Amino acid sequence: MEMNLFKFCSGLKALGYCMIILVAAIIAVSYYAVVVLTWGPQLLRGGLHSFFAFSIIIVFHILLILLLWSYLMVVFKDPGSVPENWKPVLEEENLEAGSSMSLSDHVATEASASDVLEMRPPVGYCSRCQNGKPPRCHHCSVCQRCVLKMDHHCVWVVNCVGACNYKFFLLFLLYTFLETSMDTLILLPRFVKFFGDAKNHSTSPGSLAIIFLAFVLNLAFTLSLLCFIVMHASLLLSNTTSIEVYEKKRGVRWKYDLGRKKNFEQVFGTKKALWFLPLFSKEDLDSTPALRGLEFPTLSNIEA
């Protein structure tokens, strides 16, 4: 009896929903440990203690709001789907323009168009979706569809990470790292006191267990997320997806690497005020084709 790997991949969605519950549980434990048990009571002491505790709680909530906002955007935002019966724009433009040209103009246009076509990346075809595949598009066996500029399928968000939600994924990583790093630092004094409190029975066992668990979880996530942030920062600045890493090694120069500034803007947009918010301006969506995931400028286009 043969195993159907595609059904197995589809079953990973159920695991993803468990991951969402796990994320919510970790946030709840951290919130209770930081706000309720550790720094909330410090507000009643007055003076600098209250001011310091108030500042920590405010920053904690700001990071938490940005984290949850980014996370929900990654979960619910479509990473980018290929339009039905998709074809390259150049072919359609040539057909429309050809109807109003003379014979000599048409021949000249065909010659110039052939030169441009040589510069454009080859167009693929997905036999499973029965549709064309734009450049940098890949079929996801879990979602069972093609995803524009697919980076990977993330079990933690029950969604693919692609052209339309990659920015939100990166912000989710960033704010989760900042939140967990902050939680680790502000829980460290209580964690150090944990052993003394446990020995003297000065704190309830339930509170001690929550503080211990919150500290260990936040420390583990901080260390693991640091590796992911460094990796994705490198991919972002070189305009590469996780899937394209091996393809990139084959060439002398990666054709989508247009320089760090342009690479960054292809993911985060050009509006600096929105760079660290899980939003895109309408101007960026209209003027930056890479954010829509169907067309990507290459070195040959820029240098030409």
Question: Per-residue pLDDT tens for 250-288?
Answer: 666 889 999 999 999 999 999 999 999 999 999 999 999
Domain hosting 163: range is 5-80+157-301
Query: Does 134 reside within a domain?
Result: no
Question: Per-residue pLDDT tens for 168-224?
Answer: 999 999 999 999 999 999 999 888 887 666 666 666 778 888 999 999 999 999 999
Query: Does 124 reside within a domain?
Result: no
Q: For the chain, what percent of residues have pLDDT higher than 70? A: 79
Query: Does 143 reside within a domain?
Result: no
- Asked if residue 4 has pLDDT above 60, the reply is no
Chain Cα centroid distance, residue 254: 21
Q: State how many domains the chain has.
A: 1
Query: Does 17 reside within a domain?
Result: yes
301 pLDDT band (50/70/90 cuts)?
Answer: low
Question: Per-residue pLDDT tens for 26-74?
Answer: 999 999 999 999 999 999 888 888 999 999 999 999 999 999 999 999 9
**pLDDT score for 95:** 43
**pLDDT score for 253:** 80
- Asked if residue 142 has pLDDT above 90, the reply is no
**pLDDT score for 270:** 95
pLDDT, greater one: 169 or 142: 169
- Asked if residue 78 has pLDDT above 60, the reply is yes
Query: Does 209 reside within a domain?
Result: yes
HEC-encoded secondary structure of the chain: CCCCHHHHHHCHHHHHHHHHHHHHHHHHHHHHHHHHHHHCHHHHCCHHHHHHHHHHHHHHHHHHHHHHHHHHHHHHCCCCECCCCCCCHHHHHHHHHHCCCCHHHHHHHHHHHHHHHHHCCCCEEECCCCEEECCCCEEECCCCEEECCCCEEEHHHCEEECCCCHHHHHHHHHHHHHHHHHHHHHHHHHHHHHHHHHHHCCCCHHHHHHHHHHHHHHHHHHHHHHHHHHHHHHHHHCCCCCCCHHHHHHCCCCCCCCCHHHHHHHHHCCCHHHCCCCCCCHHHHHHCHHHCCCCCCCHHHHHC
Which residues participate in catalysis according to the annotation? 154
110 pLDDT band (50/70/90 cuts)?
Answer: very low
Query: Does 252 reside within a domain?
Result: yes
117-129 average pLDDT score: 66
303 pLDDT band (50/70/90 cuts)?
Answer: low
* Threshold 0.75, pTM exceeds: yes
137-152 average pLDDT score: 93
Query: Does 296 reside within a domain?
Result: yes
Query: Does 48 reside within a domain?
Result: yes
